[in-house]
């Protein structure tokens, strides 16, 4: 099966967000050792990028209170990126002091979400991020930009594609090397994904785009496929589908890395990632969290004993 | 390229048959009837009601005659039933069936283990059903199992799927539903399989029946739609586990399918809210959680 024949990228970079986005949305507080072990296991799977932690106040995100210890405690494998979230300049400095070599900033395409989530308007958040990207530039630290609510907002409902394009453009222009477009509440479908990407692609080169799909409504893989058909070649996912949805109790959140890789393998698309190794890491963290995996591939594989 | 999508998709609801057949709890006849009646109010045009198979093999479907005779048959809705052989067909017609289905497979080992004969022998059995159905003016839908993989043989060649599909279409099945029985397919294998089948059977006569065991169903369905398929099977609440992978899921959930089609602006005629209510009803009756993510997300506990 030739990916080129079906118009798909030959290689997809998978950005693993389980240790940060995933764990951040899990109720159980995970010990630092467990976090470090998870990241070390993920480092051996071939994943090119693993989001490690978040340098945010522990008042807001208790799960990430051990950010320094985690950052300093993990094995750093050559060829693997270990980005961390830095919501502001203070977080950025703290991250650098702890050894971070790549950071991320989190914007949103919805004013209401921005206000509820980080207590300021989109414009104010952009100003904060500019401080970060300016410092980062001076230190040669790459910055990844996230745009939340790209396909819908828990407060505003519908989000206009042009707004997503506008915020993306601001983040890209200030120096973010990549923009990850997040379907934060998983409401998107291939229809809305296509419309949103068409608008964003007018402002940002395709090679600088990533999709971060939530599987809350079961649409993630279909949305990711649509994005890939349009040329997007970077996909965020979370081992074992860690991380529920804070806006729909009991619902799922992140798409499972295992399920994404299974699809990409079936399409003949190269990722460099060993699916079995990811399943093992998934098994490890689910055991530690005392929860069932959200990955259907993992569920099916453990039942049959095969992949 | 993403290509154009069909403007309308016919959703074939298989919950009451394929779904319940793969649920451990045996469901009372009255509950089955209520389920089908509720489904009949959602806008679905096709609801697979039951299976005229020996209760020795499928205890869940033992009440097939009572179910078929007990449901409110709404005008404009088709209630096909499975008929594995002539005897089942005759019992189905006697009970008032106006449409039947026959189940073939693209794998010899699967056919052997599932219905105790070879593919060739199974086609001969269907030929008997086709003949009787033709005489009674009863449309027959043909299923082909294991189109993207087999629990026993592993890989299945697209050419084999095309061959079996062609035979079933040639013998008179008006539609061929291609089933990814163990859900192992991905958009890649779906595309390859459909390209082969579409050389032998017109796309207008094709349907896809995807299992979500590996979470690939909606992506696979999306590709099928892009290739021109406009009939999709699904099961309310994602009823029906996978008999080959304990604890794993089976059928794709109708709610999740309709959610995606709505988002694509594709017309189905199905009322998603009524569908979710029906899913809630049957899950309560089965004392189980829904397998539909749309239902899960919409339920603010």
* pLDDT tens-digit series, residues B97-121: 999 999 999 999 999 998 889 999 9
Q: Is residue A186 part of a domain?
A: yes
Q: Is the pLDDT of residue A6 over 80?
A: no
Best probe of the A interface among B219, B272, B298, by most A CBs < 10 A, is: B219
CA distance B181 to chain A (A): 13
Task: List the single residue in B2, B214, B265 with the smallest CB-CB distance to A259.
Answer: B214
Contact assessment for residue A267 and residue B215, using Cβ atoms and an 8 Å cutoff: no
Q: Map tokens 């067909």 to a residue.
A: B89
How high is the pLDDT of residue A247? 78
Instruction: Give the percent of chain A with pLDDT over 90.
Output: 88
For the CA atoms of A129, A131, A134, A136, the dihedral, rounded to the nearest 10 degrees, stands at -70
Say what the pLDDT of residue A2 is. 63
A190 touches chain B (CB under 8 A): yes
Task: Choose among B128, B107, B112, B103: nearest CA to B48.
Answer: B103
Q: What is the pLDDT of residue B246?
A: 72
A247-to-A54, A153, A244, A280, B256 alpha-carbon distances in Å: 20, 10, 9, 29, 19
Q: Is A192 on the interface with B (CB under 8 A)?
A: yes
Alpha-carbon distances of A257 from A192, A262, A278, rounded to whole Å: 22, 9, 8
Residue B301 has pLDDT above 50, yes or no: no
pLDDT of residue B1: 40
A306 band by pLDDT with thresholds 50, 70 and 90? low
What is the rounded distance in angstroms from the CA atom of residue A161 to the CA atom of residue A181?
11
pLDDT tens-digit map of B243-300? 777 777 889 999 999 999 999 999 999 999 999 999 999 999 999 999 999 999 986 5
pLDDT at residue A173, rounded to an integer: 97
Q: What is the DSSP letter of B22?
A: T
Residues in A touching B259 (Cβ below 8 Å):
189, 217-219
CATH of domain B10-291: 3.20.20.70
Q: Specify if A104 maps to a domain.
A: yes
Residues A67 and B34: their CA atoms lie apart, in Å, by 54
Burial A255-275 (b: 16+ CB within 10 A, else e): bbbbbbbbbbbbbbbebebeb
Burial class (CB in 10 A: 0-12, 13-18, 19+), B247: exposed
SS3 A175: coil
Buried b (16+ CB within 10 A) or exposed e, B149-166: bbbeeeebebebbbbbbe
When CB atoms are compared, the residue of B2, B222, B260 closest to A230 is B2
Distance from CA of A288 to the nearest CA of B (A): 21
- Residue A163 in any domain: the answer is yes
Question: What H or E segment, with its residue span, contains residue B104?
Answer: strand B100-105
CATH code, domain with A139? 3.20.20.70
Task: Classify the C-alpha dihedral A116-A117-A119-A122 as positive or negative.
Answer: negative
The number of beta carbons lying within 10 Å of the beta carbon of residue B266 is 18
How much is the average pLDDT of B83-94? 96
Query: What ipTM is given for this predicted complex?
Result: 0.92
Name which of A192, A263, A297 is nearest B263 (Cβ-Cβ): A192
pLDDT for res B3:
60
Q: Across the strands, what pairs with B178?
A: B144, B208
Look at residue A3 and tell me if it is in a domain: no
The pLDDT mean for chain A works out to 95
CA distance B49 to chain A (A): 26
Chain A residues with CB-CB distance to B265 below 8 A: 191
Residue A49 is inside which H or E element, if any?
Answer: strand A49-50
Q: pTM of the predicted model, to two decimals?
A: 0.95
Euclidean distance between CA atoms A136 and B283, whole angstroms:
53
At A176, the pLDDT band (50, 70, 90 cuts) reads: very high
Do A296 and B212 count as a contact with CB atoms less than 8 A apart?
yes
The residue behind tokens 């189109």 is B147
Please check whether residue A256 lies inside any domain of the structure.
Answer: yes
* Model confidence pLDDT, tens digit, residues A103-144: 999 999 999 999 998 889 999 999 999 999 999 999 999 999
Which token pair is B4? Answer: 């154009």
- The number of folded domains in chain A is 1
Query: What residue spans define the domains of chain B?
Result: 10-291
Hey, is the C-beta of A104 within 8 angstroms of any chain B C-beta? Answer: no
> Is the pLDDT at A71 greater than 90, yes or no?
yes
Domain membership of residue A139 (yes or no) is yes
**Residues in CB range of A248: below 8 A, 6 or more apart:** A185, A216, B296, B297, B298, B300
Contact A296 B249 (CB under 8 A): yes
Distance CA(A179)–CA(A144), nearest Å, equals: 6
Residues of A with active-site annotation: 245
The answer to whether A90 and A128 are in contact (CB under 8 A) is no
Q: What is the pLDDT of residues A191-250, one digit of tens each?
A: 999 999 999 999 999 999 999 999 999 999 999 999 999 999 999 999 999 998 877 777
| Phi, psi for B97 (deg, rounded to 5) | -65, 140
pLDDT > 90 in chain B, percent: 89
Interface of B with A (CB under 8 A): 1-2, 183, 185-189, 191-192, 212-216, 218-219, 221-223, 242, 244-249, 253, 256, 259-260, 262-265, 292-294, 296-301
> Percentage of residues in chain A with pLDDT exceeding 70?
97
- A143-167: pLDDT as tens digits: 999 999 999 999 999 999 999 999 9
Average the pLDDT over each of A152-156, A169-173, B233-237 and give the range with the smallest value.
A152-156
Options B146, B150, B242, B283, the catalytic residue: B242
Report DSSP letters for A205-260, one per residue.
-GGGEEEEEB-TTS-HHHHHHHHHHTT--EEEEBGGG--B-TTSTT-B-BPBHHHH
């Amino acid at each position: 099966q030739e990916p080129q024949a079906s118009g798909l990228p030959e290689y997809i970079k998978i950005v693993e967000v389980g240790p940060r986005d995933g764990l951040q949305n899990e109720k159980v507080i995970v010990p630092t050792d467990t976090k470090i072990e998870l990241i070390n296991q993920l480092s051996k799977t071939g994943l090119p990028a693993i989001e490690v932690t978040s340098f945010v106040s522990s008042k807001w995100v208790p799960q990430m209170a051990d950010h320094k210890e985690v950052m300093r405690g993990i094995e750093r494998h050559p060829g693997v990126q270990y980005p961390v979230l830095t919501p502001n300049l203070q977080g950025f400095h703290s991250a650098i002091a702890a050894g971070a070599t790549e950071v991320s900033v989190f914007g949103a395409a919805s004013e209401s979400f921005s206000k509820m989530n980080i207590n300021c308007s989109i414009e104010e958040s952009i100003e904060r991020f500019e401080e970060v990207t300016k410092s980062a530039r001076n230190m040669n630290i790459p910055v990844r930009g996230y745009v939340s609510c790209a396909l819908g907002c828990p407060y505003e409902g519908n989000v206009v594609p042009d707004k997503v394009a506008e915020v993306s453009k601001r983040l890209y222009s200030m120096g973010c090397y990549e923009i990850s477009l997040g379907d934060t509440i998983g409401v998107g479908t291939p229809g809305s994904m296509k419309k949103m990407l068409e608008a964003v692609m007018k402002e940002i080169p395709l090679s600088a785009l990533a999709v971060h799909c939530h599987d809350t409504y079961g649409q993630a893989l279909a949305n990711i496929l649509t994005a890939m058909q349009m040329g997007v070649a970077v996909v965020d996912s979370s081992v074992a589908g860690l991380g529920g949805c804070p806006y729909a109790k009991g619902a799922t959140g992140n798409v499972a890395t295992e399920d994404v890789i299974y699809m990409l393998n079936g399409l003949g698309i190269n990722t460099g990632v060993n699916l079995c190794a990811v399943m093992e890491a998934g098994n490890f963290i689910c055991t530690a969290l005392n929860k069932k995996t959200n990955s259907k591939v993992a569920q099916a594989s453990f039942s049959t004993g095969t992949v | 390229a993403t290509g154009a999508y069909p403007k309308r998709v016919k959703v074939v609801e298989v919950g009451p048959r394929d779904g319940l057949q793969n649920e451990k709890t045996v469901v009372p006849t009255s509950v089955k009837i209520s389920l089908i009646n509720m489904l009949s109010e959602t806008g679905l045009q096709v609801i697979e009601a039951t299976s005229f198979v020996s209760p020795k093999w499928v205890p869940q479907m033992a009440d097939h005659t009572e179910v078929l005779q007990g449901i409110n048959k709404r005008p404009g809705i088709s209630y096909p039933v499975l008929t594995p052989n002539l005897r089942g067909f005759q019992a189905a017609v006697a009970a008032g069936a106006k449409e039947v289905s026959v189940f073939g497979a693209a794998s010899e080992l699967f056919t052997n283990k599932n219905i105790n004969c070879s593919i060739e022998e199974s086609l001969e059995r269907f030929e008997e059903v086709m003949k009787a159905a033709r005489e009674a003016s009863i449309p027959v839908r043909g299923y082909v199992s294991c189109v993207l993989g087999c629990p026993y043989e592993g890989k299945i060649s697209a050419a084999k799927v095309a061959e079996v599909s062609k035979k079933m279409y040639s013998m008179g099945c008006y539609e061929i539903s291609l089933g990814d029985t163990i859900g192992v397919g991905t958009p890649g294998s779906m595309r390859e399989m459909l390209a082969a089948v579409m050389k032998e059977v017109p796309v207008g006569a094709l349907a896809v029946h995807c299992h979500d065991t590996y979470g690939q169903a909606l992506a696979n369905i999306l590709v099928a739609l892009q290739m021109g398929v406009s009939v999709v099977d699904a099961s309310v609440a994602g009823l029906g586990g996978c008999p080959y992978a304990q604890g794993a899921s089976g059928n794709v959930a109708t709610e999740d399918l309709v959610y995606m089609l709505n988002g694509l602006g594709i017309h189905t005629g199905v009322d998603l809210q009524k569908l979710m209510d029906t899913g809630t009803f049957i899950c309560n009756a089965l004392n189980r959680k829904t397998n539909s993510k749309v239902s899960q997300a919409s339920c603010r506990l």
